[in-house]
Structure formats: structure tokens, C-alpha cells
Structure 1
Amino acid sequence: MSPRKIQFCIFLFILFNLKVSPLVFASSSNVSFEFPSFNLRNLTLLGDSYLRNGVIGLTRDVTVPSSSSGTVIYNNPVSFFDQESNTTASFSTRFSFSILDVNENSYGDGLSFFLSQDNQTLGSPGGYLGLVNSSQLTKNKFVAIEFDTRLDAHFNDPNDHHVGLDIDSLNSIKTADPILQDIDLKSGDLITVWIDYKNDLRVLKVYMSYSSLKPGDPILTVDIDLSEYLKRDMYVGFSGSTEGSTELHFVANWSFRTSGFLPVIPKSNRHNVSDSSVTVTTPVIPISNAANKRHKRLGLGLGIAGPAFFCAFLVAFGYISVRKWQKIKRVKSLKAELVTGPKEFSYKELKLATRGFHSSRIIGRGAFGNVYKAFFKSSGTIAAVKRSKHSHEGKTEFLAELSIIACLRHKNLIPLQGWCVEKGEVLLVYEFMPYGSLDRMLYEEGSERGIFLNWAHRQKTAVGLASSLTYLHHECEQKVIHRDIKTSNIMLDGNFNARLGDFGLARLMEHDKSPASTLTAGTMGYLAPEYLHYGKATEKTDVFSYGVVILELVCGKRPIEREPVSQKMVNLVDWVWGLYGEGNIIEAADPRLNGEFEEEMRKLLLVGLSCANPDSTGRPTMRRVLQILNGEAEPIAVPRKKPSLTFSCGLALTLEDIFSNCD
């Protein structure tokens, strides 16, 4: 019998001896989560929202009137409708918020709790409460409870102090004034809110209190059936906005749950089919005793060896099948984790979007490969596709690491939109950044496109980058060391917000080891001395790189440049520290800035030097840096003379040697 026929027989044997269970279709299940204080593990921040000391701020913390809007959204969509049972869930939420203002008579516009079909829309500031875009008022579908602190006649507000129910429009269905229960939205005190919707009673109630005890009477009661608005999965979150105001909006804690769905009970098979056997009777053919003995020995041998061989073959076959099934299951499981995050693109789809990876679509080059501008005709969207030919044979391991990176969400990180592993290539899809990388805007394209990075842009970049690194180092559940912070990895979006790219991806692909770009993992000029020497990255190596970037921002010079006259290599950190030692640090500032904002420049230069301290123990943490930049902590004292750091043995390459190799 041929091997193929044997394998087929074994397959039939296994198939007919398996007990088959009926398929169970899972129903929608109840959802519950709680944030006693906030972290960014399961939340997405949009616009001007930020996290500080476990509290979410929805609008800019500034001392001068401004227009601002921000949103925080729970990452996972919530199912409010079960199609199998035709049931709409009830829900209840509890959260504490405060609205305050450092300037009198500068209030507006308020905040809202919402359920929305969209998790990407950032609403406009002012009376739009960050819920809808002023140019597309009907695009976002939502159910929201607004806590409004400004009268906006355009939306028929009753006064400048009310709570209202909004559905797909900012014209409230019903409003109430909390002052009737002695609740002042503008007091700055922490106010606790309970919102309960009972689908069986078709009623929504809002309770408010200064204490943690739920009051007996609601502020707002609305008889309404929300089932028609909750047919799709919804995202839950908060939004806030200001317009010409210094009003601050904070959310301190939050819990949410749905109820009303019955638990899923697996269907059992009442009639299990037992194994059946068929007895076949064959006629006995008389043979001689000698032949009979030989046949008996042969039969005995085959009777022992045959089943043993069959069992061994079956065990091996089963082991290989189980291993293969487990691997498929792991890949499917990891892909399922990525469903709400990055999308898996096909190679054909990305090739079409980049015109076959045409050279005219290249918008960046790096050690990993080229970056292409991609246009997806089906959705009309633009993205950036990073292409690497570093093959990944371990797709399961790649997906496991990618699922960790997919959890990183911060307004100053470039969001990873998708990925593809096909044809021996790794392709990563990012949000497209209109102004490209920071180094091009500082040194090349900025002047070519007639765009100059003024002091406000540079200061905004410094704070945004510090905020993203504080998140990676201190606020992630699993600490992330970037290892390659440099101006070419910092992108600028349409509002000149800094977006850090390539975060955490160093471990997904092998770095180029050539001296022209990297020694360990990173780029010359940005590498901390201890990292060059020992090759071990820590959060302090990222702090050093951040310090170099800050000096670049203020000085408008690259980390290592060749002097035009002497052709000598000059290190930016050494040059700035030398001027600081002479008491002339402000001379390091970019001359294109015309000597304006000297105090702010001096402060930022000193922050850069403190981060670029050769001694890692003298560098601040990124959390401390962010506090200094936000005026919440005193600057660190910087020694006039650059500290020296010695190792047991010298480096193999000098600065001149490295750059002669580069040339």
C-alpha cells in the first residue's frame, strides 16, 4: 500500500472515531471596567488631552485664553445590542470631574460623556464641546451627556450652566440646571456623576454630588428609548473644549458597565454517538499443520509489530497535527488581539497604493528600508508605508511583539495603522505626517518649502517629545526603551505637533550594523557614552538622545558637523557646554530666531545639557524633564565644566575614525 493510501486510511480512521460537538455561536456579553486613577493602557488620547498624575486633562493647561479641544476614549468598542436575542443592553457609569478657571469670567465651554460610533473624530473647540467637527456637524453619530458652562445661542442653550442629553446633535433633547441641587459646575470642586440607562424602563437618569454617595433624586430624567441609537458597537469616552478661555477640565476616575445580556450557555449534544463495530465472519480454509505453524508465527509477529507500528505512526501524526493546530491557534489569537488596533494589509493592496513601490513615492529612507507615500483609493486615505526586506520567519513571534506595540497610544506617538508580512518582507503602515520629519524641516525642506520653524514650533516639539518619552518610560504597563531618538524619527503632523516614530520596533528587525549609521543600535551623535561602551540601553540612554535633540532644536545645528574652514569634526554637546562655561550660552541659539525669547532659549539649552550629561547618574528622568518644561519643577543645576567619564578601556573608534568611514 502506498504511503498516500496509508495516510488517507489513518485520516478516515481518526475522522470516524472523533466525537463531533455542535458549534456554539457566542452571544454579546456584558462589559465592565474601572479606572480608580488613569493610565494609558486601555485609553486613547486625542487633541489636547493629556494624562498627569493619574488624572486626565481634556484641554490645554495655559494661563492665557485659548481655543482647545481634547478627547479620551476607551480603546475597545462596547456592544450594546445582541442580534441573537434582539436585546439592547442597559448601562451605568460613574465618574468624577472638575471644571476650574484661574481667571474670573473666562468660563467655557464644558465637557461631555459620550457613546460614539467613531473613535477617531476629534471635535472642534468652543460650543462643539469636542464632540463634532464644525465643518461636518452630522458626520459623528453619538449619545452624550453634556456639562455645559457657556451659553451658546446657536445650539439653543438655556443658560451658561446646565446638564443636557444630546443625540447626534448639540441641540439638547432635555436640560436641567444643577444649581437647583446646589451643584456648581464651575466651582473647581470634584463632582461625582452617575448616569443610568434602563432599557426595560426606557429611561435615562443623571445624578450628581460633591460626595461619593449617590443621591436619591436625579438632576436630569429623560424618558427615552435609546435602542435605535445603540444598534452598532459604540466607543465610550469624554470630550472637552474651550474657546477664548482658560477653563480647565479634569476627569479623575471612571467606571462603566453594561447589563441585560444573558450569559452564554453552551449547547450540549443530548445524543452522543457511541463507537459502533461490525463483526465479519469468514470461512475457514483447512491447511497443513506445518504451514499452519508458520502462518501462526507470521500472524503473531504481524499482530504485535503491526499495531505497534500503527500506534507509533498515529502518535507521531497526532503530535505533528496538534503542534500545527496550536501554532495556527496562537497566530489567530494574536491576530484577534490586533483586530481593534493595526490592520493586516495584503501585499497586493500596499503595492497598489504605492504604485508598485515606485521611486517617486519614496518620502524617507532609513536603516530598515524606504518609506513610501501610499494612497488607498477605496477609502480615499493617505498613509506612510515602511518597507523592509529583513525577513521574519517567526511570524508568531512577530505578531506577539506587534500586539505589544499596538497597545502604545499617545498623542505624540505616530499611530501604527497596519502591517503586512509577505514575500519575505515586513511592511508597516503609519499615519501620514504632512510636514515630514523634524530634521528635514530644520535643515532642508523647511527653507525649500518656505516654512520656518519658529520658536513656538520648537518649544511645542520639545514638550511633545518629552511627553511621549514620559509615557514610554513611566506610564506604560511594560517599559519601552526607544534606543534611536533623533530628529529624523520625529515627525510633524498638520498642526506641527511632534510625533515620535519607530517606537519599540528595534526588537522587531535587525539594525544595520555598519559604522555609517549605527554601532550598537542607534545613530552616531545621539548615543550616550555608556551605551557606546557597554551596548546596554536604559531609559537614561533615551534621555541623552533627547538632550541632543533639544540642543539641535535651539541651535539649528546637527549633533556632529564638520567645520567649513578647519574640516574638524565638532560635537554639538561639547560646543554648547563650552559656551556655557564661558557664560555665553545664548550665543548657541539659532541665528535665524533673531535673538528673541532669550530666557526661554536659555532654559531649554540648560535642559538639553542636563539630559546630555556624560554621567548617566546626573541626568534627570523624562518625567522630571516634562515637569520642568511645564513649570512644575525647578531646573536641574548644570555644572559649568562638562563632566568627564572614564572607562576601563578606550573605544575602538575615535570620532574622526567613525566619520572617515562614513565619508
Structure 2
Amino acid sequence: MDVEFDDFNGNHVGLDLNSMVSSQVGDLGALDIDLKSGDLVNSWVEYDASSGIFNISVSYSTLKPKEPMLSFPLDLDHYVNDFMYVGFSGSTQGSTEVHSIEWWSFSSSFNSTSPPPPTATLMNPTANIVKSKPPSLAPSDSHLSKSSSSSSCHNQLCKQGPGAVAGVVTAGAFVLALFAGALIWVYSKKFKHVKKSEFFPSEIIKMPKEFRYKELKAATRCFDANRIIGHGAFGTVYKGILSDNGDIVAVKRCSHTSQGKNEFLSELSIIGTLRHRNLVRLQGWCHEKGEILLVYDLMPNGSLDKALFEARTPLPWAHRQKILLGVASALAYLHQECDHQVIHRDVKTSNIMLDEGFNAKLGDFGLARQIEHDKSPDATVAAGTMGYLAPEYLQTGRATEKTDVFSFGAVVLEVASGRRPIERNANAAAKVGANGNLVEWVWSLRREGRLLAAADARLEGNFNEGEMRRVLLVGLACSHPDPLARPTMRGVVQILVGEAQVPIVPKAKPSMSFSTSHLLLSLQDTVSDCNDMINFFSSSSENSHIGPDLV
């Protein structure tokens, strides 16, 4: 839901025509459909050019409802061309979500007196392997008109003759074949990765201890819901008590999905080799009975976000400074002191744990990636939590140490101000302004010369103003829109301990910019990926009949 686009709720269907403001809107709540339920939702979009009626139907069922949810007159000639691209997109506001298309098809028909009416149908090749039955297709007007001796042509392309229609069908078949080749390439890469992953645990079995499933099941009382202490990336965290020595541990139970398994292997391979006083220590792991479990030291004081926002008493300023220094030290170790550089990709207060002495322990490496020093990272889908993600990461999908620095800057401002990076509460957002964005709000205070107004009011002035100013300036420096202007984490550590001066922070927030080299690198990667897919398809066509069969 976005009030800027006049959305009346967060559970609706809207038709946008050359505008972000919907011209037609339907409330899904009236059909007892919830888009956030996680259940599969089927939709049908139909347009009849002869009557000029546009119908939209939505249902949990695979059978199309008798009555459409929305039905209204519309002349699409004003909005579509003879040749256009059709695609899908998804977005989210607060955090990482998964939007997937389980099944899709596209069909069109052209009425003509002679020759017989041709039809064009496109369908995704994976439709026959989805878990659920594909939804029923809407009746095609071409089927209804087969017995009719006369019909009319309502399409600009049809009026140009059968040759134009045949051209569209041929082009559509080529696009479908190209799409199939790309799919085969992607799945072959994924299959190879999975095959390697099956043997991955045996390679790292000597690193952390391997626990028995029976032992961890007993430690968590059969994974009792009352033992849940948190939710990490792709898993739930339980409190456990080991029977052999009485140690209290945190047991992370990974989600039963291929993505959850991949994140487990990533986390195990990375954190199993790391040793630093400000990283959560991995005690061991378990992979039995279809379960994937990670065992960590339990932190008595929980996570930093709970200490900031749920504790009865405010976190003292001295503790906050020590925590920030600890996190900065951990990131400096990951970025510059490991054999392979580690990009965490999910630095936030809920992933920073606190031991009995309120020392920071950075955890949850489910999204982390290892790369060689001085090597360019691969572009991926941006992952993490809004408010902590660097603007260039959202733009290019390329995570670097400087994207981690931006996330740390958001954490610094959150700790100093006692406010969340993105305020969801209406009253809190009104106080912050800048659309509830913490980084933008602190930049505005810097421009107005009132930087110390960002300090957490719950501290009641119990802090050194010079220290608070230095911390806030470090947060702004790390949150600089230009990644090249952000300091390194080693430099941040030196600033926090007083060994280096705070970098010059401009009065007003600079405009966001990307260097030409970054943009060219992203473009080269995109072109390279496309060329790889086209080359693969060409070679496959020469050696097999995959392409012609699909066409």
C-alpha cells in the first residue's frame, strides 16, 4: 500500500494506465482473499475488443469465477501497440519477500472470414511441473466463432493480412524457444550447484562439531514454540539446553526449502572458518531427518534491537559506544583481515547479539558472500532489509564492502537516536519526517545545524556531546550516497577509538551518483549473461531438437 498513489488499502487489485494512480480498483477483502496469506492466488485478465469490455477475475481456486471481480469498458487501442513486451514485476516495502509466478499463459485470437481464424498461444514450459494444478483458461472467442460463417476483424494487425499474423506467431515462437533455452541454461547451472552442495557438509565436517538430531530435539523440547527466541534469515531460532553438559545454546532451524538449504550451506561454510571476538561463535551443526540445524552460543542479553526498543530501561550511552565499536571491529575483520573477503549483506540491529557484558556479536550469515580480495563481486538480486540497504546496491544488485558500510551507518544512527531506520508507526514517522526514513531525517538536522537533536531523548542528556556528535557524523559519513566517499571499516574503528579524525561531512546531503565504471561494469555483466544464454541456445539447437520441439 502506498498513500502517495491513492491506494485505499494494502490488499487490492488495481488497473494502472500510464499512471501510478489506479483508474480501476477492487478490494480483495470482499472476496476473502489475502495477498499476504502465502497461499497461491490465481488471476484471469481478459479483454474483448468487439465489446470493449475488460474483465479481471481473482480466486484461490483453479477454476475461473463465473463473475469477474472487475468489469468495465476500455478501449485498449489508446494504450497498446501492435508489437509490445509483456512481463511481470514485484516489489516490497519493509523487508525481503519472495514473489513467484507459478504458472502463466497468454493467448490471442484474430477473427477473419478467410482463411480460418488463426490463434497464438504462449505458455511457460514449466507449467506442467508446478505443484498445483494450473488454473483453467478463459474461453477463447476463436473457439466460439468456428461455426460462424461471418465475422469481423477488430485488430490493426489482423487487417494487415495473414502474413503479418504469421509473422507475429513466428516471432512469438522464437521468443518462446529463446526463453526455453534460457530456462534450460539456468536449471543446468542450478543442478550442478545442487550436486556439489550434496557433498558440501562432508568437506567441512572437521570445522565445527556435528550434533545428533536427537540431542538437539531434546535440547529444544521438540522445538517447542515457547522456546522460540527469534527469527533469522530463512530460519527460526530456539533456546536449547544440552543434556551432556548443561550448556545453554541457540539452535537455528533452517526452513525446509531449497533456498533455505543453500543459505544454511553458505552460513556454515563462511562462519565455520571465522574467529573473532565480535562474531557469534558457531558450536556445531546437524543435518538429519530432513532437518538442517545450526548451533550457536546463546547471548544472554538478546539482540540489539530488543535492547533499544523493548527494554524497560534505556541502553546506557557507554554500552552503545562499546557495541558500535565491536560491530565496526567485526566488519573490519570480515572485509580486510580474512583470507577471503566476506560481505555480510544483512547488517542490522536484529542481527547483532549482546553477551552478558553487552559486548556486540555480529551473527546471521545466511546472506553473506565470500569473494577474493580486489575482485569485483557478482551482481545478484538485492537482499536484506529496507532502511539498511545502500542505494547503489538497490540499483545494481552488486554487494561490496561499501554496501556493508552503508548498513553500518544506518545502525549507528539507529543506536544514537533510538529510532528505527524506517518508522512504521505513524506517530514516530511524523516526528522523524522525511517519509519516516531515519538517514534522511539526520541529514536534514545536519543541514539545519541541529545535529545533536537526533540524540535519543530517553538518554535524558546522559552522554558527552562531543562523543555523540562524533558518532552521528560517523553514521552520516558511512551513509554517504556516494560509495567512494564512505570510509572503510578499519577507518571507522580508528575514528571511534580516537586514533583518527572524523571525515568531513557536508552540511547538506549530496545527490546520489554512480561512477561510470560501476555502470559500465553492470552493463558488461548483463550483456555477457545474455550472450552466454544465446550461445548456449545456439549450441543446443545444433546438437539436439530441443528448440524445434518447443516451437
So what's the TM-score if we normalise by structure 1?
0.43
Residue equivalent to 1:474: 336
Using the TM superposition, name which of 558-567 and 547-556 deviates more: 558-567
Is 2:439 the partner of 1:573? yes
Residue equivalent to 1:606: 473
**Do the aligned partners of 1:334 and 1:403 also contact (CA within 8 Å) in 2?**
no
CA distance in 1, matches of 2:336, 2:269: 19
Say if 1:504 and 1:474 are closer, same or farther in 2 by CA, change over 3 A.
Answer: farther
Residue equivalent to 2:409: 547
Task: Name the SS of the counterpart of 1:480 in structure 2.
Answer: strand
Say if 1:441 and 1:327 are closer, same or farther in 2 by CA, change over 3 A.
Answer: closer
Residue equivalent to 2:345: 483
Say if 1:469 and 1:358 are closer, same or farther in 2 by CA, change over 3 A.
Answer: same
1:64-105 CA-partner distances (Å, limit 9, x unpaired): xxxxxxxxxxxxxxxxxxxxxxxxxxxxxxxxxxxxxxxxxx
Match of 1:371 among 233, 237, 255: 237
Say if 1:616 and 1:593 are closer, same or farther in 2 by CA, change over 3 A.
Answer: same
Count of residue correspondences: 307
- Residue 479 of structure 1 deviates from its aligned partner by 0.4
- Residue 552 of structure 1 deviates from its aligned partner by 0.7
- Residue 401 of structure 1 deviates from its aligned partner by 6.9
Which has the higher Rg, Structure 1 or Structure 2? 1
- Residue 333 of structure 1 deviates from its aligned partner by 5.8
Paired amino acid for 2:490: R
Say if 1:558 and 1:394 are closer, same or farther in 2 by CA, change over 3 A.
Answer: closer
Match of 1:456 among 318, 337, 352: 318
Residue equivalent to 2:512: 645
- Residue 422 of structure 1 deviates from its aligned partner by 2.4
CA distance in 2, matches of 1:393, 1:617: 32
- Residue 393 of structure 1 deviates from its aligned partner by 10
Paired amino acid for 1:542: D
Paired amino acid for 1:485: V
Residue equivalent to 1:524: 386
Structure with more strand by fraction: 1
CA distance in 2, matches of 1:329, 1:425: 14
**Do the aligned partners of 1:392 and 1:426 also contact (CA within 8 Å) in 2?**
no
Say if 1:362 and 1:468 are closer, same or farther in 2 by CA, change over 3 A.
Answer: same
Residue equivalent to 1:586: 452
Unaligned runs of 5+ in 2: 1-194, 371-379, 516-551
Is 2:271 the partner of 1:405? yes
Say if 1:392 and 1:334 are closer, same or farther in 2 by CA, change over 3 A.
Answer: farther
- Residue 576 of structure 1 deviates from its aligned partner by 0.7
CA distance in 2, matches of 1:532, 1:393: 21
1:445-490 CA-partner distances (Å, limit 9, x unpaired): x11xxx4310100000010000000000000011000000000000
CA distance in 2, matches of 1:416, 1:565: 37
**Do the aligned partners of 1:554 and 1:604 also contact (CA within 8 Å) in 2?**
yes
**Do the aligned partners of 1:489 and 1:500 also contact (CA within 8 Å) in 2?**
yes
Paired amino acid for 2:231: R
Match of 2:253 among 362, 365, 387: 387
Residue equivalent to 1:311: none
Say if 1:613 and 1:433 are closer, same or farther in 2 by CA, change over 3 A.
Answer: same
Residue equivalent to 1:424: 290
CA distance in 2, matches of 1:507, 1:522: 13
CA distance in 2, matches of 1:475, 1:431: 23
Task: Name the SS of the counterpart of 1:602 in structure 2.
Answer: helix
Say if 1:478 and 1:640 are closer, same or farther in 2 by CA, change over 3 A.
Answer: same
1:512-541 CA-partner distances (Å, limit 9, x unpaired): xxxxxx972110000000011111100000
CA distance in 1, matches of 2:265, 2:303: 27
Match of 1:619 among 471, 474, 486: 486
**Do the aligned partners of 1:418 and 1:430 also contact (CA within 8 Å) in 2?**
yes
Task: Name the SS of the counterpart of 1:560 in structure 2.
Answer: coil
Residue equivalent to 2:503: 636
CA distance in 2, matches of 1:330, 1:358: 31
Please give the root-mean-square deviation of Cα atoms over the aligned residues, in Å: 3.0
1:296-353 CA-partner distances (Å, limit 9, x unpaired): xxxxxxxxxxxxxxxxxxxxxxxxxxxxxx9999668624532xxx111122211111
Is 2:203 the partner of 1:334? yes
- Residue 436 of structure 1 deviates from its aligned partner by 0.3
Paired amino acid for 2:347: I
Structure with more helix by fraction: 2
- Residue 619 of structure 1 deviates from its aligned partner by 0.3
1:597-626 CA-partner distances (Å, limit 9, x unpaired): 111000000000000011111100001101
Is 2:400 the partner of 1:538? yes
CA distance in 2, matches of 1:389, 1:464: 30
Task: Name the SS of the counterpart of 1:385 in structure 2.
Answer: strand
Task: Name the SS of the counterpart of 2:411 in structure 1.
Answer: helix
Task: Name the SS of the counterpart of 2:342 in structure 1.
Answer: coil
**Do the aligned partners of 1:350 and 1:374 also contact (CA within 8 Å) in 2?**
yes
How much identity, in percent, do the aligned residues show? 61
CA distance in 1, matches of 2:252, 2:201: 24
Is 2:226 the partner of 1:360? yes
CA distance in 2, matches of 1:363, 1:522: 20
CA distance in 1, matches of 2:337, 2:429: 46
Say if 1:367 and 1:592 are closer, same or farther in 2 by CA, change over 3 A.
Answer: same
Which of 1 and 2 has higher RCO (CA within 8 Å, sep 6+)? 1
Say if 1:360 and 1:407 are closer, same or farther in 2 by CA, change over 3 A.
Answer: same
CA distance in 2, matches of 1:565, 1:476: 40
**Do the aligned partners of 2:452 and 2:469 also contact (CA within 8 Å) in 1?**
yes
1:91-138 CA-partner distances (Å, limit 9, x unpaired): xxxxxxxxxxxxxxxxxxxxxxxxxxxxxxxxxxxxxxxxxxxxxxxx
**Do the aligned partners of 1:369 and 1:389 also contact (CA within 8 Å) in 2?**
yes
CA distance in 1, matches of 2:480, 2:365: 23
Say if 1:424 and 1:456 are closer, same or farther in 2 by CA, change over 3 A.
Answer: same
Paired amino acid for 2:412: I
CA distance in 1, matches of 2:233, 2:290: 17
Task: Name the SS of the counterpart of 2:331 in structure 1.
Answer: helix
Say if 1:332 and 1:441 are closer, same or farther in 2 by CA, change over 3 A.
Answer: closer
Unaligned runs of 5+ in 1: 1-325, 509-517, 649-663
Paired amino acid for 1:623: R
- Residue 399 of structure 1 deviates from its aligned partner by 6.0
Paired amino acid for 1:592: R
Paired amino acid for 2:206: E
CA distance in 2, matches of 1:464, 1:418: 24
**Do the aligned partners of 1:405 and 1:504 also contact (CA within 8 Å) in 2?**
no
Using the TM superposition, name which of 359-368 and 492-501 deviates more: 359-368
Say if 1:345 and 1:505 are closer, same or farther in 2 by CA, change over 3 A.
Answer: farther
